[in-house]
């Protein structure tokens, strides 16, 4: 796997213009990020209390009532992506992607992560059987999705857990089919959703069926 920066030439990713394309996020889609990040912050003397759809606002110093400040959270976040690979894959995600790829779908990973996370994230994907081209992105994903979608004449689908990224895709590439999946069961009821704009399916077996239909491939 060769990870690419978001501002790299998207032409470097091999996309067959005759095939359907699936663009898929990592954290809380392919990976159970909050569980892994929670284990990491515990090694630094903090604890994760998942009571809102947020990141740093769910982290507390042990025994304290107020969550940590943003600067402390960003330091922990950056350190996690430098040192930690202890993230469990989302159940059935790798198997579903493999079936779609075997059916002729081009799979591209589009993940928001710090630039220094490239090699760590690539190793994690290979380790868990998701060795697909990867783009490291920062900020809204619409521009990257539009650039990738322009490379194929086939149908294109995008999967993410965040409504903001799905909305960004809708603005930049309205022809791309959008699906929301929130992998962590603790976050599902807390996650903002917009079913009138983006289809919400939180289990990979059911999402696989929907993607196979949307992308026009036969589901085994």
Q: Check residue 85 and give its pLDDT.
A: 82
Q: Check residue 11 and give its pLDDT.
A: 54
Quote the pTM value. Answer: 0.93
Q: Is the pLDDT of residue 218 over 90?
A: no
Q: Is the pLDDT of residue 3 over 80?
A: no
Per residue in 138-156, pLDDT (tens digit) is 899 999 999 999 999 999 9
Neighbouring CB atoms inside 10 A of 138's CB total 12
List the chain domain ranges.
4-32+88-215, 34-83
Please provide residue 190's backbone torsions phi and psi, each rounded to the nearest 5 degrees. -90, -20
| H/E element, 176 | none
> 4-32+88-215: which CATH number, 3.20.20.150, 2.60.120.260, 3.40.50.1000, 3.10.20.70?
3.40.50.1000
219 vs 94, 132, 138, CA distance in Å? 15, 20, 33
| H/E element, 38 | helix 33-43
Per residue in 144-196, pLDDT (tens digit) is 999 999 999 999 999 999 999 999 999 999 999 999 999 999 999 999 999 99
Per residue in 199-214, pLDDT (tens digit) is 999 999 999 999 999 9
């Amino acid at each position: 796997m060769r990870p690419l920066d978001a501002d790299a030439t998207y032409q470097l990713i091999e996309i067959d213009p005759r095939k359907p394309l699936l663009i898929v996020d990592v954290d809380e889609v392919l990976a159970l990020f909050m569980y892994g990040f929670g284990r990491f912050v515990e090694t630094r003397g903090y604890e994760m209390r998942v009571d809102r759809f947020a990141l740093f606002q769910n982290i507390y110093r042990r025994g304290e009532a107020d969550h940590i400040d943003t600067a402390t959270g960003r330091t922990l976040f950056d350190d996690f992506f430098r040192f930690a690979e202890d993230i469990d894959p989302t159940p059935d995600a790798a198997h579903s992607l493999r079936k779609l790829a075997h059916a002729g779908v081009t799979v591209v990973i589009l993940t928001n992560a710090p630039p220094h996370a490239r090699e760590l994230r690539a190793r994690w994907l290979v380790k868990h059987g998701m060795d697909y081209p990867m783009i490291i992105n920062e900020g809204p994903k619409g521009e990257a999705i539009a650039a990738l979608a322009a490379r194929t004449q086939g149908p294109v689908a995008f999967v993410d857990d965040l409504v903001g990224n799905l909305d960004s895709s809708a603005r930049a590439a309205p022809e791309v089919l959008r699906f929301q999946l929130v992998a962590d069961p603790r976050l599902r009821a807390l996650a903002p959703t917009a079913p009138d704009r983006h289809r919400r399916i939180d289990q990979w077996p059911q999402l696989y069926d929907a993607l196979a239909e949307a992308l026009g491939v036969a589901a085994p």
